[in-house]
């Protein structure tokens, strides 16, 4: 186990890196924690930014459901509540029989099921301005849940980490290009500026970028681009829709947020199987990884699917042009479980990643649980979930991100022409 006074390098200032850094420095007595990233947090192309993330405790898996409830309690507490909007969470499915929908409904008391001819009237009793197309559908409401302001929550956490003594290095000196090893022991990192930083413990909290440093991870991690878009509303329109909940359509994976109070925009996105890019890793293998660019490009069929979603959730805004679109890069694991474990063969190398598009909601409690794994004292159930799995424990045939909550078309590799636009 790492000593509390020796240097610890955490690569990546996203949800995993910051929450772990903060926990180690603020609550566990680690005195030499350094976070490296290309950018100051909130990192503009990370999956921990932009205005909103769903906060929910609806999970088919009881462990995440319980973590979700723990996190929501924290989101509602004074430390985090300025970033949390308890707008409610409404889940739509095309009839019952959807495994995730049914499991969530069974898993917790207090969820309301809406169906049949009454569906519109019942939903409108709770959310008078919801106007989604509901004919023949079922829906489930969770009053505890809503959304968090991702960018602001991250900025606040970075500030608290800094106050707790965490060192931040950004720019070319913070851009890690190589992991340094001697034999099977980690030594530190090399940065784009050419400098090396030594530490006996390195944490890769590198999200979708992880395969660049550790290309031989086989079936454990794969980066996928997920689409999202924003439309602009007028202040009057925002006033009209300010009390809508977060809504997801499980048939398509498309979900949407209430209008943001400050920028007056509605965000819509797809929690799907996503897109892969291809680029060369340091050992020349082809990997899927985000480009370090801020492009608005999203594939055409995805833009159409999102427009379709707008028309279904907010019929009044059908056809409104995008004011922004982008790909948000997930780091997926086969079953959607996070990775918080030491590399089995490289001493001193810890992974805190694999968010699989659902980690942000745990931000207020993520650091504590990841730090427990880091100190090898997490509950065995959690440790087992977030560890490196072997082939026998996790068959290669699993489709990435198969936790049951995603929808839409299967994973697709972007064509060369599409990748040229990234």
Ligand X SMILES: *[C@@H]1O[C@H](CO)[C@@H](O)[C@H](O)[C@H]1NC(C)=O
Which one among 17, 388, 401, 405 touches ligand X, defined by CB under 6 A?
Answer: 388
Residue 94 binds ligand X, judged by CB under 6 A: yes
How far apart, in Å, are the Cα atoms of 404 and each of 59, 60, 160? 9, 8, 35
The residue range among 12-20, 56-64, 180-188, 216-224 that interacts with ligand X, by the rule CB under 6 A, is 216-224
Q: Is 312 near ligand X (CB under 6 A)?
A: yes
DSSP string, 209-270: GHHHH-TT-TTS-EEEEEEEEEEE--HHHHHHHTT--EEEETTTTEEE-PPPTTT-EEEEEE
Q: Does 116 bind ligand X (CB under 6 A)?
A: no
**218 is a site residue for ligand X (CB under 6 A):** yes
Shortest CB 131 distance to ligand X, Å: 10
Break the chain down into helix, strand, coil percent, rounded to 5. Answer: 30, 25, 45
236 binds ligand X (CB under 6 A): no
> In sequence order, what are the residues at sequence separation of 6 or more whose Cβ sits closer than 8 angstroms to the Cβ of residue 208?
47, 223, 224, 289, 290, 329, 330, 331
- Ranges within 329-368 binding ligand X (CB under 6 A): 343-344
**Cβ distance 100 to 155 under 8 Å?**
no
What tokens were used for 269?
A: 């996105």
Say whether residue 110 binds ligand X (CB under 6 A). no
CB-closest chain residue to ligand X:
312
Q: How many helices (H) and strands (E) does the chain have?
A: 11, 24
Phi-psi region of 188 (alpha: psi -120 to 50; beta: other; left: phi over 0): left
Residue 134 lies near ligand X (rule: CB under 6 A): yes
Residues 63-92 that bind ligand X (CB under 6 A): 92
Q: Should residue 419 be labelled a site residue for ligand X when binding is judged by CB under 6 A?
A: no
253, 271 Cβ separation under 8 angstroms: yes
The span from the CA of 208 to the CA of 289, in Å, is 6
Under the binding rule (CB under 6 A), the answer on residue 405 touching ligand X is: no
Closest CB to ligand X among residues 7, 229 = 229
Q: Does residue number 251 form part of the binding site for ligand X (CB under 6 A)?
A: yes
Q: Which helix (H) or strand (E) holds 340?
A: strand 339-342
Token pair for 114 = 């809406």
Among 38, 137, 175, 358, binds ligand X (CB under 6 A): 137
211 lies in the site for ligand X, by CB under 6 A: no
Q: How far apart are CA 302 and CA 392, in angstroms?
A: 35
Nearest CB to ligand X, comparing residues 46 and 245 = 245
Nearer to ligand X, 154 or 352 (CB): 352
CB of 13 to ligand X, least distance (A): 24
Question: Is the distance from CB of 189 to CB of 202 less than 8 angstroms?
Answer: yes
Using CB under 6 A as the binding rule, whether residue 181 contacts ligand X is answered as no
Q: Which is nearer to ligand X, 251 or 419 (CB)?
A: 251
Does 283 bind ligand X (CB under 6 A)? Our answer is no
Residue 392 interacting with ligand X (CB under 6 A): no
Q: Which is nearer to ligand X, 339 or 365 (CB)?
A: 339
Instruction: For residue 365, give the nearest of 79, 103, 51, 8 by alpha carbon.
Output: 79
The answer to the question of residue 396 lying near ligand X (CB under 6 A) is yes
Count other Cβ atoms within 10 Å, centred on residue 397.
7
**Rounded Cα distance, 139 and 132, in Å:** 11
Q: Which stretch binds ligand X (CB under 6 A): 244-252, 256-264, 320-328, 363-371?
A: 244-252
Considering the rule CB under 6 A, would residue 144 count as an interface residue with ligand X?
no
Q: Which is nearer to ligand X, 16 or 92 (CB)?
A: 92
Task: Tell me the closest approach of the beta carbon of residue 138 to ligand X, in angstroms.
Answer: 10
Number of residues that bind ligand X (CB under 6 A): 22
Closest by CA position to 248, among listed 123, 346, 101:
101
> Which residues contact ligand X by CB under 6 A?
92, 94, 132-134, 137, 217-220, 249, 251-252, 312-313, 343-344, 388, 390-391, 394, 396
């Amino acid at each position: 186990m790492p000593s509390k006074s020796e240097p610890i390098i955490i690569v990546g200032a996203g949800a995993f890196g910051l929450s772990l850094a903060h926990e180690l420095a603020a609550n566990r007595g680690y005195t030499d924690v350094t976070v490296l990233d290309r950018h100051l947090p909130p990192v503009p192309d990370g999956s921990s930014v932009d205005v909103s993330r769903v906060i929910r405790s609806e999970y088919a898996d009881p462990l995440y459901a319980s973590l979700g409830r723990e996190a929501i309690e924290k989101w509602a507490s004074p430390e985090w509540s300025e970033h949390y909007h308890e707008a409610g969470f409404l889940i739509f499915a095309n009839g019952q029989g959807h495994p995730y929908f049914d499991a969530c409904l069974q898993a917790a008391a207090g969820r309301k099921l809406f169906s049949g001819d009454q569906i519109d009237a019942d939903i409108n009793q709770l959310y008078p301005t919801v106007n989604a197309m509901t004919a023949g559908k079922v829906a489930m409401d969770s009053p505890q849940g809503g959304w968090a302001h991702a960018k602001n929550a991250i900025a606040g956490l970075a500030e608290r980490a800094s106050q707790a003594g965490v060192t931040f290095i950004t720019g070319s000196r913070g851009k890690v290009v190589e992991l340094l090893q001697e034999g099977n022991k980690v030594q530190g990192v090399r940065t784009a500026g050419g400098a090396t930083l030594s530490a006996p413990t390195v944490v890769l909290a590198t999200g979708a970028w992880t395969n660049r440093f550790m290309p031989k991870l086989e079936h454990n991690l794969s980066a996928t681009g997920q689409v999202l878009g924003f439309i602009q509303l007028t202040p009057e329109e925002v006033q009209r829709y300010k009390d809508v909940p977060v809504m997801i359509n499980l048939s398509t994976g498309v979900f949407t947020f209430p209008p943001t109070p400050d920028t007056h925009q509605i965000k819509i996105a797809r929690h799907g199987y996503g897109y892969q890019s291809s680029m060369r890793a340091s050992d020349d293998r082809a990997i899927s990884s985000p480009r370090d660019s801020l492009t608005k490009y999203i594939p055409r069929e995805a833009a159409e699917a999102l427009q379709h979603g707008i028309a279904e959730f907010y019929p009044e805004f059908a056809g409104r042009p995008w004011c922004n679109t982008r790909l948000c890069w997930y780091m997926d694991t086969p079953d959607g479980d996070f990775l918080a474990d030491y590399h089995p063969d490289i001493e001193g190398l810890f992974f805190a990643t694999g968010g699989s598009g659902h980690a942000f909601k745990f931000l207020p409690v993520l650091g504590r649980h990841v730090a427990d794994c880091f100190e090898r004292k997490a509950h065995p159930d959690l440790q087992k979930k977030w560890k490196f799995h072997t082939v026998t424990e996790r068959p290669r045939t699993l489709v990435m991100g198969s936790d049951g909550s995603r929808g839409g078309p299967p994973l697709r590799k972007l064509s060369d022409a599409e990748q040229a636009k990234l």
